[in-house]
């Protein structure tokens, strides 16, 4: 199974949005994008803490970004055509997001200033909701698969639920990695108990376990020894593309890694961004509206650092994953994580063409009223 966390690097690749957006703007200009003719778009979750990045995109690109996203950071690929018709040059920023509390150094939570006592809640809430069932199944397994000594032999006791392979959904064990099936290659219990069965442990698995497990006859839950390679999930998920279950479809293949991670919400955000870039890339190549136009598509994760005292917005940081760029003269190329980070850092974080939002709003407020003429009935 692919190592999500290992493939997605953080060291030296994270940047504040106040630096990322002007660098992205300048990078697009270096590829021939025309200032004042660039239509940005964002595929973000709908959480309010994604508003600050949107403000900065508006400030530096001079246009409020087109909405390309659905809850959880899913790209709405059926919006490619409308987006393509809204600008001469096009930019799409996709980002799954995860909250971060600097006081506890915990990912997946965010301080909501608009709640009583500024309580911490899940961020991203959609990812958290999708993970809930899988985490419950995993926690049950951690408590109901046990190690012990029976008649001086090391055994693993497995709840009968996990021996029922005809179930349509749930957590399923890679039993051939846990249980010693011997020469018969069959599941033969040493002991049949009321709600479980005891088996000899696979010698390769036993060799990985702490020796302390076999110092008493006490039953010890498998707990953190329930590693991602020992199980998988089955769940009924809608196959509708970009339907209500698209996020769950994306994360399904990574669920064992996600639920066993130190911070499941962070690992889930990384996995979703990787999949969304790969999935969206091909739809961009096939979209007629983008043909013959400058287009930049960049994906990464937004880390929403909870506001501290005196702050109204999160100190959002962006970690790029990959980018696809095409130019009007027919060039097409992908920048992998190291390459896109280098390309961005090669650009200035100063954008002399940025707009001052407060001044732009003042101009609109002071502009003479325009009366709207409705047709007579």
Cα separation of 330 and 15, whole Å? 30
| End-to-end Cα spacing for the chain | 66
pLDDT average, residue stretch 270-276: 96
Per-residue pLDDT of 333-357, as tens digits, reads 999 999 999 999 999 999 999 998 8
pLDDT band at residue 362 under the 50/70/90 scheme:
confident
| Dihedral angle of Cα 282, 288, 294, 295, to the nearest 10 degrees | -30
**DSSP output for 106-158:** EESEEE-TTSGGG-EEESSHHHHHHHHHHHHHHHHHHHHEEEEEETTEEEEEE
- Which two structure tokens, joined as six digits, stand for 268? 């889930």
pLDDT average, residue stretch 298-321: 89
- Indicate the SS3 state at residue 310: coil
pLDDT average, residue stretch 41-51: 92
pLDDT band at residue 3 under the 50/70/90 scheme:
low
Residue 1 has pLDDT above 50, yes or no: no
Mean pLDDT score across all residues of the chain: 93
What lies within 8 Å, CB to CB, of 351 at 6+ separation is 22, 25, 26, 60
pLDDT average, residue stretch 105-116: 84
pLDDT average, residue stretch 300-311: 87
HEC readout, 227-247: CHHHEEEECCCCCCCCCCCHH
Residue 264 has pLDDT above 50, yes or no: yes
Residue 5 has pLDDT above 80, yes or no: no
User: Across 16-20, 215-219, 314-318, which has the greatest mean pLDDT?
Assistant: 16-20
Angle at 373 between CA 369 and CA 377, to 5 degrees: 155
Comparing 95 with 115, which gets the higher pLDDT? 95
Q: Confirm whether pTM is higher than 0.75.
A: yes
What's the confidence (pLDDT) of residue 139?
97
Domain limits, the chain: 6-108+263-360, 133-234
pLDDT average, residue stretch 134-152: 95
pLDDT band at residue 214 under the 50/70/90 scheme:
confident
What's the confidence (pLDDT) of residue 248?
96
Residue 212 has pLDDT above 70, yes or no: yes
What lies within 8 Å, CB to CB, of 310 at 6+ separation is none
pLDDT band at residue 311 under the 50/70/90 scheme:
confident
Residue 193 has pLDDT above 50, yes or no: yes
Residue 102 has pLDDT above 70, yes or no: yes
Largest CA distance in the chain: 94
What's the confidence (pLDDT) of residue 247?
96
Helix (H) or strand (E) holding 252: helix 246-252
């Amino acid at each position: 199974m692919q190592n999500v966390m290992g493939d997605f690097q953080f060291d030296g690749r994270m940047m504040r949005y106040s630096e990322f957006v002007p660098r992205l703007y300048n990078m697009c200009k270096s590829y021939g994008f025309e200032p004042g003719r660039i239509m940005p778009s964002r595929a973000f979750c709908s959480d309010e803490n994604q508003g600050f990045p949107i403000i900065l995109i508006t400030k530096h690109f001079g246009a409020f970004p087109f909405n390309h996203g659905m809850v959880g950071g899913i790209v709405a690929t059926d919006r490619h055509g409308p987006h393509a018709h809204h600008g001469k040059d096009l930019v799409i920023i996709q980002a799954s997001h995860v909250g971060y509390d600097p006081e506890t150094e915990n990912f997946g939570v965010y301080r909501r200033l608009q709640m009583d006592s500024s309580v911490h809640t899940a961020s991203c809430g959609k990812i958290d909701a999708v993970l809930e069932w899988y985490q419950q199944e995993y926690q049950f397994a951690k408590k109901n698969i046990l190690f012990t000594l029976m008649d001086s032999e090391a055994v693993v006791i497995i709840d009968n639920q996990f021996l029922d392979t005809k179930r349509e959904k749930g957590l399923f064990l890679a039993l051939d990695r846990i249980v010693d099936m011997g020469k018969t290659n069959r599941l033969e219990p040493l002991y049949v108990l009321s709600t479980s069965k005891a088996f000899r442990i696979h010698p390769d698995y036993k060799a990985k376990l702490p020796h302390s497990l076999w110092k008493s006859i006490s039953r010890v839950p498998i707990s953190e020894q329930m590693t991602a390679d020992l199980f998988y999930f089955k769940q009924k998920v809608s196959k509708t593309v970009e339907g209500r279950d698209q996020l769950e479809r994306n994360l399904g293949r990574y669920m064992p890694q996600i639920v066993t991670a130190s911070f499941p919400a962070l690992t889930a955000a990384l996995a979703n961004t990787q999949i969304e870039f790969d999935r969206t890339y091909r739809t961009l190549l096939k979209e007629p509206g983008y043909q013959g136009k400058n287009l930049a598509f960049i994906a990464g994760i937004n880390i929403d650092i909870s506001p501290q005292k005196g702050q109204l917005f999160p100190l959002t940081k962006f970690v790029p994953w990959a980018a696809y760029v095409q130019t009007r003269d027919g060039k097409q190329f992908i920048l992998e994580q190291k390459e896109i980070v280098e390309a961005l850092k090669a650009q200035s974080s100063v954008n002399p063409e940025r707009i001052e939002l407060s001044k732009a709003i003042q101009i609109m407020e002071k502009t003479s009223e325009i009366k709207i003429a409705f047709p007579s009935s």
